[in-house]
Amino acid sequence: MSNVSKSHRSNDPIVKYCTSISVKQDPILQKLTENTLKNAPMGLGAPEVHQFGQNLIRLTHAKRALDIDGEVISMDIDLEKLKRYGKEFIDSKPEISKKINFKLGPAVQTLDSLIAAGESGKWDFAFIDADKTSYPYYYEKCVQLLRPGGVILIDNALRCGRVVLEDKDDETKAIDETNHIIANDTRVDNMLLNLGDGTHVVFKKYE
């Protein structure tokens, strides 16, 4: 199997070195990371991917962001883990919590409601890390919602290296399908990186 792994699961000295040089977490993010590692480690995204996303947000001066699992709309089917492991840390910083709008329910419905409300082309950044079988749908809706020059970051885009296997499970098939949809989408430029569990970076072209 190819060397595809999140830094906190990897023993590769090069991965550890790159992470130590690149990842800079503020105290709130450190607490969130430590608490998630302790209580729900499978739910922790790669810190290096989060850092990369932060840098892209700064680079593009993004003010409005869609987080699928300025202003942030975060979508999830279940907020129980948020309440249990993270909300107290977020609420301790009112200047952060006031900018985050948590939407409870299927992300597909939230995305459709934003499009119906005339939000297409008004968002700067989207992060997709949710149920994998819906990745193609999430991608299409996010492209519609993003402004020209906006960025989509897709997590788990290599699925522990399973995208190259002939025998794929349904989630891996959906991720592989999404990667190929992006590669052939003339509306965007893209780069698939072996960062974390695979990070697909998508830039919406200017018309």
The total number of structural domains that make up the chain = 1
Residue 144 has pLDDT above 90, yes or no: yes
pTM: 0.81
The CA R_g of the chain, rounded to the nearest whole Å, is 17
Q: Which of 26-30, 72-76, 109-113, 146-150 has the lowest mean pLDDT?
A: 72-76
The CATH code of the domain that includes 67 is 3.40.50.150
Residue 170: pLDDT band with limits 50, 70, 90: very high
Interacting residues of 2 by C-beta distance below 8 A, sequence separation 6+: 158, 161, 164, 194
Residue 70 has pLDDT above 60, yes or no: no
Task: Provide the percentage of residues in the chain whose pLDDT is more than 90.
Answer: 52
Copy the structure tokens of residue 137.
């749908």
Who has greater pLDDT, 127 or 27?
Answer: 127
CA distance linking residue 34 with residue 37, whole number of Å: 5
150, part of any domain = yes
Q: Which of 16-25, 97-106, 130-139, 195-204 has the lowest mean pLDDT?
A: 97-106
Q: Would you state the pLDDT for residue 4?
A: 63
Q: Would you state the pLDDT for residue 69?
A: 66
DSSP state of 61: T
139, part of any domain = yes
Residue 86: pLDDT band with limits 50, 70, 90: low
Interacting residues of 33 by C-beta distance below 8 A, sequence separation 6+: 25, 44, 47
Residue 83: pLDDT band with limits 50, 70, 90: low
Q: Would you state the pLDDT for residue 1?
A: 45
DSSP 128-149: E-S-GGGHHHHHHHHHHHEEEE
151, part of any domain = yes
Copy the structure tokens of residue 192.
């698939």
Residues in the chain: 207
128, part of any domain = yes
Who has greater pLDDT, 40 or 1?
Answer: 40
What number is the average pLDDT over the span 165-186?
98
CA distance linking residue 141 with residue 139, whole number of Å: 6
What residues make up the domain containing 200? 7-204
Residue 99 has pLDDT above 50, yes or no: yes
Instruction: Count CB neighbours of 194 within 10 A.
Output: 14
CA distance linking residue 74 with residue 108, whole number of Å: 12
Q: Would you state the pLDDT for residue 123?
A: 96
What number is the average pLDDT over the span 72-98?
66
1, part of any domain = no
Q: Would you state the pLDDT for residue 76?
A: 61
Who has greater pLDDT, 58 or 39?
Answer: 58
